[in-house]
Every structure is written in C-alpha cells, then in structure tokens.
Amino acid sequence: MANKIITLDEFIIKRQNDFSYATGELTALLRDIGVAAKIVNREVNRAGLVNILGIHGSENASGEDVQKLDMYANDKLIECLSNSGECCGVASEENEDYVEIPPIASENGKYVVLFDPLDGSSNIDVNVSVGTIFSIYRRVSDESGPCELEDFLQKGVEQVAAGYVIYGTSTILVYTTGNGVNGFTLDPSIGEFCLSHRNIQIPKTGQYYSINQGYYSKFDLEMRRYVDNCSDMNLRLRYIGTMVADIHRILFQGGIFLYPSTRKYPDGKLRLLYECNPMSFIMEQAGGKSIDTQLQRIMEIKPTELHQRASIVIGSPQMVDEMKAFVQKYSASNVLG
Ligand code: P6P
C-alpha cells in the first residue's frame, strides 16, 4: 500500500493528542505559521517575475504596492498570527519594537512569537535559497493585560516551539515542540506541507564546515587557527550566506556552522532572538550542539534587548566539542606563551 500522506495539520493535531498537557492553542499557532509559509512561498517563487510581469515601481498589476519581499513576509506573518487569538505579541527582525496583537473576544493570547521573516533576503535576486525562522514562548507577563518586553527577553531554553521554512529547490518546514524534529515538504499540487523527514537526527560528525572565509583576517587568533585546522583535516567548505540553508544542509549531512565575532561584529552578526535561539532549539532536539565563541550554550544566554546579536558555533555534537577543545587548548597554550 502506498505510504499514507500525513499533512502538517494532521501531524500537529495527532501530536497534540499524544501529549495530555498539549493545548489547542499551540496547535492553532503552528497552523497559522504553516499558512503564512505557504503565502510567503508563493511570493518568493514569483519574485523573479516581478520584472518580467512588468510590475514596476511601487505598484503591481492589481494596483497594490509592490513591497520588498522581506517586508511582505513580515506583514503576512503578523496578519496570520493575529487570526487565532493565541498570540498576544510578535517581535521581528524587521521591526524596531515588539508589536502587540489585540485580543479576540477579550481573551489575551498566551504566547508570543519571534521571527526573522525572510532570512538571507539579499540572496533572492540571485535565486539562492532563503528562509523564515520562528520561535514561540509562553508569555510570562500578567495575562489580563497586553504583552510586555519581558515576554520576548526569555532564555532560549524557555522556547515551547521553534522552526524554519527553507524556500529552495523545494519548500520544507522543519519544527520542534521539544519532542524531536520533523520536516514537511510543500506539495504545491495540493497546497499542503506533507511529512517527509520524520524524527530528524543530525550525524554525530561530518565533512563540512560552513563559515564566511572572507573574514579570515578579521577573526581572532583562535578562530583563525581553528579554520586552518578544518582545512588541514580536509573538511569541505560550504557557505551559501543564508543561515537557514547552511544549517539545513548540516542537519542532514553533518558538519559545523560558525559565525564568530569579527572586528565589524564584535558580538557576532546573527540575532540571538530571531536566528540563534530557534536554530539552536532545533539543533539540540536533533542531537546537535550550539554554543557561542565564549563557549557558552546559546540557549542559556539571558537576552537584554530585542535585537541583541550573538556569535554562534552550531552543528554535529562531536565537531562542536572538538572546536571547543581546540579553542580551549589553543588559548591555554597562548596564555602559557
Ligand atoms: P555574511 C543573511 O543576511 C544572514 O543574516 C544569515 O542568514 C547569514 O548566515 C549571514 O547573514 C551571512 O552574513 O556576513 O556572511 O554575508
């Protein structure tokens, strides 16, 4: 018998039934995100047509404003998350401050959602994979009122769900609610995300390292020596410039992704709340590890501001441990002179 198709909606609902504590609220939120991903996917796939269809300037064929795709994705996510009533606020890499979501039927939502609506958007124009990253927390502020800043500044270990969508040769949604990681491939012929990668587990080690080698001279000494070591170990360098795509490969083939501190970004470039924490939750749930270049676990960092940056070293557990040991040994020998 042909394998039964399991859609994202079916899977989410089944998983909800598997866990007595699960509530319909998180299910509704995940389904809203799935809808937003389908809408964004449609526009990402048409992006190249904007010029061909003669959509010029600020108006498209139907007289609507043609937005930059990342702002379009941002607005669609906020719109879809405002439908279910489960979300009381969102924070986005694209918005300076968080956005309160008004209650539906006077009941404030119990969750906040943080996202990077279109990660790697500069790659759109050259038809390279881009992604959406999301992270869900239970609010901690008084539920009788609107969301507050403290709801968004929680440690990554407090996430109740996290996921990403990669818009590539196919569109795949990967997410976790803390009970493993599963992947769903969009079947455009039926407009459904279908279970395609059950219980993803990252290989313990791998042959790939992913870093922007162009910044080599701007890395600190330990990181330069570690990169030299990767080359000496005949590891293969793969770097797309979209965090979601670089980490998606590593999740399936094994490897290590690094965005260390540089002179330009002394705290690292990637955003702790919208990129590092959600990708770290997924990676740890798939058996991987994720630390910063001070060698502390990313998900233990206490955020102090919405757009806080972090350095990150994430991937196969053995490779992250080896990088940590290499840097510790190198720093110690440096101190000893
Ligand atoms: P660089 C994309 O702009 C992004 O935020 C991540 O998706 C990606 O990993 C990183 O920046 C690439 O940065 O400095 O190597 O171009």
pLDDT surpasses 60 at 139? yes
| pTM confidence score | 0.93
User: Mean pLDDT for the chain?
Assistant: 90
Q: pLDDT tens for residues 11-56? A: 988 887 766 556 678 888 999 999 999 999 998 888 766 554 434 3
Which residues, 6+ apart, have CB-to-CB distance to 325 below 8 Å? none
What single DSSP character describes residue 246?
A: H
Q: What pLDDT does 19 receive?
A: 61
| Cα distance between residue 145 and residue 73, in whole Å | 28
Q: Is the model's pLDDT at 298 over the cut of 90?
A: yes
Tell me what pLDDT residue 62 has. Answer: 47
pLDDT at 60: 47
Intra-chain end-to-end CA distance of the chain, in Å: 67
Q: Is the pLDDT of residue 288 over 60?
A: yes
How distant, in Å, are the alpha carbons of 214, 244, 323, 330 from that of 224? 11, 24, 12, 11
Instruction: Say if ligand 1 is within 6 A of residue 110 CB.
Output: no
β partners of residue 259:
312
Could you report the per-residue pLDDT of 90-129, keeping only the tens digit for each? 999 999 999 999 988 777 899 999 999 999 988 888 889 9
Pocket residue to mutate for ligand 1, from 259, 312, 313, most atoms within 8 A of Cβ: 259
CATH classification of 208-336 is 3.40.190.80, yes or no? yes
| Residue 304, pLDDT above cutoff 70 | yes
pLDDT by residue (tens digit) across 216-257? 999 999 999 999 999 999 999 999 999 999 999 999 999 999
Does the CA dihedral 36-37-38-44 come out positive or negative? positive
Rounded to the nearest whole angstrom, what is the distance from the C-alpha of residue 138 to the centroid of ligand 1? 29
Verify whether ligand 1 is closer than 6 Å to residue 168 (CB atom): no
CATH of 8-197 given 3.30.540.10, 3.30.70.260, 2.30.40.10, 3.50.50.60: 3.30.540.10
Hey, where are the domains in the chain?
A: 8-197, 208-336
Which pLDDT does position 1 carry in this prediction?
55
